[in-house]
Amino acid sequence: MALKQRVFSGVQPTGNLHLGNYLGAITKFVALQESYDCIYCVVDMHAITVWQEPHELSHATREVTAAFLACGIDPKKHIVFNQSQVAEHAELAWVFNCVARLGWLNRMTQFKEKAGKDRENVSVGLYAYPNLMAADILVYRATHVPVGEDQKQHLELSRDIAQKFNIDYAASINNHGYGETFFPLPEPIIQGPATRVMSLRDGSKKMSKSDASDQSRINLTDDADAIALKIRRAKTDPHALPSEEKGLETRPEAENLVGIYAALNDTTKAQVLSEFGGGQFSTFKSALVDLAVAKLGPIGGEMKRLVQDPVYIDSILADGSQRAQAIAAETMKAVKDIVGFVRR
Ligand code: TRP
């Protein structure tokens, strides 16, 4: 059976969305709409693997949805919804809890990092998180998943789960007329290091919503003044910009700002340096302020407008959930037959 090429990706509704999420993920999601059927999910069930203030969780869910829409994701042609409205994610995740091996999860570096020394005290959900992520993807039998480098290992686990399911249930898959394999092995679409956006305060750290300093990141909802101030205050070094990319090698802060400019302007670092190389940092920063305000200002404005209309946002999520569920329910029926669950 030829499966239609389908993209799935998820974003957690925890904290502010920033320039790193925009350049690293959301602009990629927007571009993929041209060539795939896309499903973009606000993964609220993943969010609660770490406790969330309930009203902040609802707000963040609507805000991520608003960002998707403001950046140009089309919720009519594609699907935008929040995870918890489609119960099949949790249902398939349980089956996957029984397919994935303890040893596989024990190797997940993100869990080790997040749990740290407090391993005995983190939620069971945080540990089983990659199984839910596999269910997110495979309940739609998605073939392509745009993810950052940090999620690559989780995606490999999804492939392992798909493969083990296909093998463990091979006979039953065949007996029920589902062909040779049931789940596709989802391919990552990795967003390269070119769009890794670093902190404005420390060029060796990723821009992050959990950084204590708000000056370290540009939030998608920052207004023009805030954007300008953060860029002007961004850490740099005392040297002029080089004219060649090689000259950025030992200058992470300069490299980051040049990379941000290139990504926002859809060009290369080399191109940016051919224009600004040899000049003062302040001249380059002024140009970056203008560019960032021009690109991000309208997005932030639209997000704020949308967030003030929760009835509209919720209607988008309800509609997306219904259409997502229609697909997910078909997969779950088949999974129940394959596993041997008696069903209606
Ligand atoms: N784990 C992802 C992150 O933290 C979010 C996510 C959940 C996801 N389910 C997914 C990403 C499925 C891609 C596909 O970024």
Q: Has 117 been annotated as catalytic?
A: no
Whose C-alpha lies nearest to ligand 1, atom 14? 9
Collect all residues with Cβ–Cβ distance below 8 Å to 287 and sequence separation of at least 6: 261, 276
Taking the centre of ligand 1 as the mean of its atom positions, its distance from the CA of residue 10, in whole angstroms, is: 4
Taking the centre of ligand 1 as the mean of its atom positions, its distance from the CA of residue 37, in whole angstroms, is: 18
Specify the 3-state DSSP secondary structure of 223.
Answer: coil
In a mutational test of the pocket of ligand 1, which residue from 7, 12, 68 has the highest number of ligand atoms less than 8 Å from its CB? 12
Tell me if 265 is assigned to some domain.
Answer: yes
pLDDT at 1: 46
- Give the angle 74-80-82 at the CA atoms, nearest 5°: 160
pLDDT at 193: 54
Task: Output the six-digit token pair for 261.
Answer: 């400019």
pLDDT at 148: 85
pLDDT at 194: 56
User: What is the position in ligand 1's atom list of the atom closest to the CA of 25?
Assistant: 15
Tell me if 206 is assigned to some domain.
Answer: no
What is the count of structural domains for the chain? 2
Q: Does one domain contain both 261 and 317?
A: no
Tell me if 207 is assigned to some domain.
Answer: no
Tell me if 293 is assigned to some domain.
Answer: yes
Tell me if 344 is assigned to some domain.
Answer: no
pLDDT at 308: 97
Q: Does one domain contain both 318 and 286?
A: no
Q: Does one domain contain both 168 and 37?
A: yes
Q: Does one domain contain both 258 and 129?
A: no
203 lines ligand 1 (CB under 6 A): no
Residues of the chain with confidence (pLDDT) below 50: 1
Tell me if 201 is assigned to some domain.
Answer: no
Q: Does one domain contain both 232 and 256?
A: yes
Tell me if 43 is assigned to some domain.
Answer: yes
Whose C-alpha lies nearest to ligand 1, atom 13? 9
Q: Concatenate the DSSP letters of all residues of 287-318 into one string.
A: HHHHHHHHHHHHHHHHHHHHHT-HHHHHHHHH
Domain range for 34:
6-195+310-339
The pLDDT mean for the chain works out to 95
Within 37-151, where are the H helices? 44-47, 54-71, 88-97, 102-106, 109-115, 124-138
Q: Does one domain contain both 248 and 175?
A: no
Q: Does one domain contain both 156 and 233?
A: no
| CATH number of residue 15's parent domain | 3.40.50.620
Tell me if 121 is assigned to some domain.
Answer: yes
Q: Report strand pairing: 79-82 vs 187-190.
A: unpaired
pLDDT at 238: 87
Q: Does one domain contain both 317 and 331?
A: yes
**Which entry of 4, 77, 112, 209 is annotated as an active-site residue?**
209
Distances (CA, A) of 326 to 79, 82, 305: 12, 14, 30
Task: Output the six-digit token pair for 151.
Answer: 């999620």
Q: Does one domain contain both 120 and 246?
A: no
Q: Has 152 been annotated as catalytic?
A: no
| CATH number of residue 220's parent domain | 1.10.240.10
pLDDT at 210: 87
